[in-house]
Amino acid sequence: SQQGEEDPQALSIQEGENATMNCSYKTSINNLQWYRQNSGRGLVHLILIRSNEREKHSGRLRVTLDTSKKSSSLLITASRAADTASYFCATDGPDSWGKLQFGAGTQVVVTP
């Protein structure tokens, strides 16, 4: 069963614009991670945020976590064509030891 669900399913923006995608999950978590996947390749880790953290930054990426709403958002600022990819959130929790569960992903297309 999927723990996380990303929204929207697909997003199309122009270079320079910001892209925001959301992840909602159902049960309590220990950590939430965001990954990027380029066209059928292996996933690449972007950011890990722990349940006691509210916000993290990494370069042009900003992740927020609201455990009261069981949701997280990933913001990509000043997007580039190279940001075109699918983005997935993944969660692990105290009720699912050893399991890291992924959502279905958001497909982002950045046009020049």
Partner 1 sequence: EAQVTQNPRYLITVTGKKLTVTCSQNMNHEYMSWYRQDPGLGLRQIYYSMNVEVTDKGDVPEGYKVSRKEKRNFPLILESPSPNQTSLYFCASTLSGSLNSPLHFGNGTRLTVT
Cα gap 15→41, rounded to integer Å: 23
Q: What CA–CA distance (Å, rounded) separates 13 from 100?
A: 30
| Of the residues 1, 52, 82, 112, which one makes contact with partner 1 according to CB under 8 A | 1
Q: Which of 12, 17, 50, 57 binds partner 1 (CB under 8 A)?
A: 50
Instruction: Decide if 106 contacts 49 (C-beta within 8 A).
Output: no
CB-wise, 80 or 99, nearer to partner 1?
A: 99
Binding mask 68-107 for partner 1 (x = CB under 8 A): --------------------x-x-x----xxxxxxxxx--
Q: What is the DSSP secondary structure assignment for residue 50, as one 8-state letter? A: E
**AA letter at 55:** E
Grouping H, G, I as helix, E, B as strand and the rest as coil, residue 84 is: coil
Backbone angles phi, psi at 76, to 5 degrees: -110, 115
x/- track of binding to partner 1 for residues 28-47 (CB under 8 A)? --xx-x-x----xxxxxx--
Q: Give the binding-site size for partner 1 (rule: CB under 8 A).
A: 26
Site residues for partner 1 per CB under 8 A? 1-2, 30-31, 33, 35, 40-45, 48, 50, 88, 90, 92, 97-105
